[in-house]
Amino acid sequence: MPDLSIFKSPAPYHIIAYGTLLGTEFFQSFVGGIVTYQVLPRPQFSQLQQKLFPVYFGLQTALPAILALTYPGSRTSLGPASGLLGTFAEVNRWTVLAPLATMFVTSAFNLVYCGPETTRVMRKRKHQETRDGKKYYDPAPHSTEMQQLNKSFSILHGVSSLVNLVGYIATIWYGFSLAERLH
């Protein structure tokens, strides 16, 4: 009879949450986003991203919290505890807490600020297209209002991409930390 006690351990849930986070970040950042940008017309690409990003940023925000809650501490009485106690243990400050906090903060920033603000600018840009009779991506010249909206969008998109990259690097950093425990 197989030992089913593993289902009571936080370890498999931790590994599954980590794999889901890393895979989602890699796919959205380096595969899905790039491919859809290349094959879809801009309006359809924009609509797709407006629907995907809240889900993506939501997962990116929830999964580090799940990782903190399911942190599998040491099996010996000398090691740090599991869960939040282990996550916040002094010995884990740089190997567990720092990367998990970085992942959480960067994704929460994208979820609550960059994502909604970028969508707001995109909607304003759509209204400006109607006023100008010209798409935002058509060749110049553009109205002053459209130029400002395009600049705002570019800044927000750049900040969001940079913040996403920092979160992805933190995810990789945590993966190395996690792998170090598997000897």
pLDDT at 79 over 70: no
Q: How much is the average pLDDT of 72-88? A: 79
Indicate whether 46 belongs to any domain. Answer: yes
User: Tell me, what's the pLDDT at 81?
Assistant: 83
Whole-number Å distance between alpha carbons of 170 and 46: 28
168: Cβ contacts below 8 Å, ≥ 6 apart: 25, 26, 29
Give the CA distances from residue 69 to residues 33, 62, 100, 142, 166, in Å, rounded to whole numbers and listed in that order.
30, 11, 11, 50, 22
Q: How much is the average pLDDT of 147-168? A: 98
Please provide residue 144's backbone torsions phi and psi, each rounded to the nearest 5 degrees: -60, -40
Indicate whether 93 belongs to any domain. Answer: yes
Indicate whether 3 belongs to any domain. Answer: no
Structural domain of residue 54, as residue ranges? 9-180
Q: How much is the average pLDDT of 177-181? A: 90
Indicate whether 42 belongs to any domain. Answer: yes
Which pLDDT band, with edges at 50, 70 and 90, does 33 fall under? Answer: very high
User: Tell me, what's the pLDDT at 16?
Assistant: 97
Which pLDDT band, with edges at 50, 70 and 90, does 181 fall under? Answer: confident
Whole-number Å distance between alpha carbons of 148 and 151: 5
Task: Supply the DSSP symbol for 28.
Answer: I
pTM for this structure? 0.91
The DSSP secondary structure of 43-103, one letter per residue, reads: HHHHHHHHHHHHHHHHHHHHHHHHHHHT----SSTTSPPSHHHHHT-GGGIIIIIHHHHHH
Tokens of residue 62, six digits = 């929830």
Indicate whether 4 belongs to any domain. Answer: no
Domain count, the chain: 1
Q: How much is the average pLDDT of 108-133? A: 96
Indicate whether 163 belongs to any domain. Answer: yes
User: Tell me, what's the pLDDT at 74?
Assistant: 72
Indicate whether 2 belongs to any domain. Answer: no
Indicate whether 82 belongs to any domain. Answer: yes
Mean pLDDT over all residues of the chain? 94
